[in-house]
């Protein structure tokens, strides 16, 4: 059975196909209209050859369960899910949004102002704190999975966290090494993910720290390293040790000056020891806001208390000898208190954005690297090359 549904086709007896939005490693996404309500939705269907694969089937179902059990405006809403009786294909029906991935925003505008970055990170933290409280770990947090949706009559920008298809229900999943799979995107993966260790919410907190760097600098912390090595596995050997070069020094090499206090914040956010990281996403973001003298979030948008924890010195873990020489040649971080970051970034007109389905960038398998029980090697989907700068 092909996924090339023609315009006007009726799917599952109640959704009329309008157009194909995107295809990916796990399935395809269509814009559809519910024939009873006439509302436009995003229909996500799994590739037929994967429908009988228990692992992929479970991930597909998990995406619907995550949205159903966690109520927040920062996670895409799922309206329907099931198996089409005619094709036997599992499907999800999700909200259809206008906007763009945060990775595209960065590529278009460059680095973001601290105010804009913190605003997006706060919304992301709201979603993460709720999913973590429900025992759900995302495991593949990155700018391409943070969607800037234009909502309401005034096109207010709102972050939607995408792609919970490789999420892990910690409370319901065995955490033994035999069942652990290191899924994620290399540029944002925590050290324990590369080693196939047990996964906790700390991997999302690590990724949040990496995303903060990307937003403020305009490129991922590990981007140059990943380009330098010949393959993903070679890069993984370095990434398993966590960041070694102070963030401010690395940013300065790209012409961006960050406050000296950012080094300690980044060191805590991306500590190699998961227990040494911030306790919650909101705690991390509010600590970052303080560094840039940004007012605390209103109480109504941050119900979880911010735990004040000391920021450590930059963590140092012994590296492989071949990498030590390269790391030792890094210049010292600048000590100026000036951020050197643009304070105003012109927003693109929402009219220039394409109408896209939230699920279009949530096609499972995009940008994922699999080790341990998944057999090793990297899997890259069409969206990867475009996401690399972020």
Are 124 and 74 in contact by the 8 Å Cβ rule? The answer is: yes
Which among 129, 140, 263, 387 is annotated as catalytic?
140
Quote the CA–CA distance of 112 and 133 in Å, as a whole number.
Answer: 29
Apex CA 315: angle with CA 292 and CA 207, to 5°? 60
140 has catalytic annotation: yes
Are 29 and 359 in contact by the 8 Å Cβ rule? The answer is: yes
122: which 2 tokens? 């706060």
Question: Is 151 strand, coil or helix?
Answer: strand
Apex CA 91: angle with CA 29 and CA 81, to 5°? 125
CB proximity list for 293: less than 8 A, separation 6 or greater = none
CA distances from 168 to 19, 59, 154, 204, 313 (A): 31, 9, 35, 11, 31
56: which 2 tokens? 């992929």
Residues acting as catalytic residues: 140
């Amino acid at each position: 059975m092909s996924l090339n549904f023609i315009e006007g086709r009726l799917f599952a007896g109640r959704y009329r196909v309008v157009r194909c939005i995107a295809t990916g490693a796990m399935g395809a996404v269509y814009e559809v209209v519910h024939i009873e309500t006439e509302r436009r939705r995003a229909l996500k269907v799994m590739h037929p050859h994967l429908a009988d694969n228990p692992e992929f089937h479970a991930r597909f179902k998990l995406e619907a369960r995550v949205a159903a059990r966690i109520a927040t405006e920062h996670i895409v809403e799922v309206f329907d899910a099931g198996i089409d009786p005619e094709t036997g294909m599992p499907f999800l029906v999700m909200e259809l949004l206008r906007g763009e991935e945060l990775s595209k925003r960065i590529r278009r505008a460059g680095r973001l102002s601290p105010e804009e970055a913190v605003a997006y990170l706060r919304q992301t933290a709201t979603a993460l704190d709720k999913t973590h409280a429900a025992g759900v770990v995302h495991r593949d947090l990155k700018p391409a999975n943070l969607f800037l949706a234009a909502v309401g009559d005034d096109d207010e920008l709102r972050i939607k966290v995408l792609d919970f298809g490789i999420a892990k229900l910690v409370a319901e999943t065995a955490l033994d090494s035999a069942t652990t799979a290191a899924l994620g995107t290399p540029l944002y993966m925590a050290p324990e993910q590369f080693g196939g260790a047990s996964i906790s919410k700390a991997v999302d907190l690590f990724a949040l720290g990496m995303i903060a760097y990307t937003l403020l600098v305009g490129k991922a912390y590990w981007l140059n390293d990943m380009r330098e090595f010949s393959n993903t596995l070679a890069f993984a050997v370095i990434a398993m040790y966590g960041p070694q070069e102070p963030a401010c020094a690395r940013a300065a090499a790209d012409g961006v000056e960050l406050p000296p206090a950012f080094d300690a914040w980044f060191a805590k956010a991306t500590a190699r020891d998961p227990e040494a990281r911030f306790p919650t996403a909101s705690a991390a973001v509010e600590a970052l806001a303080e560094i840039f003298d940004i007012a605390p979030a209103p109480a109504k948008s941050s119900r979880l208390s911010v735990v004040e924890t000391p920021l450590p010195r930059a963590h140092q873990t012994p590296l492989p000898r071949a990498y030590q020489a390269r790391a030792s040649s890094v210049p010292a971080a600048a000590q100026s208190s000036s951020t050197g970051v643009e304070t105003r970034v012109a927003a693109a007109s929402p009219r220039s954005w394409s109408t896209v389905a939230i699920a279009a960038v949530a096609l499972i398998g995009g940008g994922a690297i699999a080790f341990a029980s998944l057999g090793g090697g990297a899997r890259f989907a069409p969206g990867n090359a475009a996401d690399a700068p972020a």
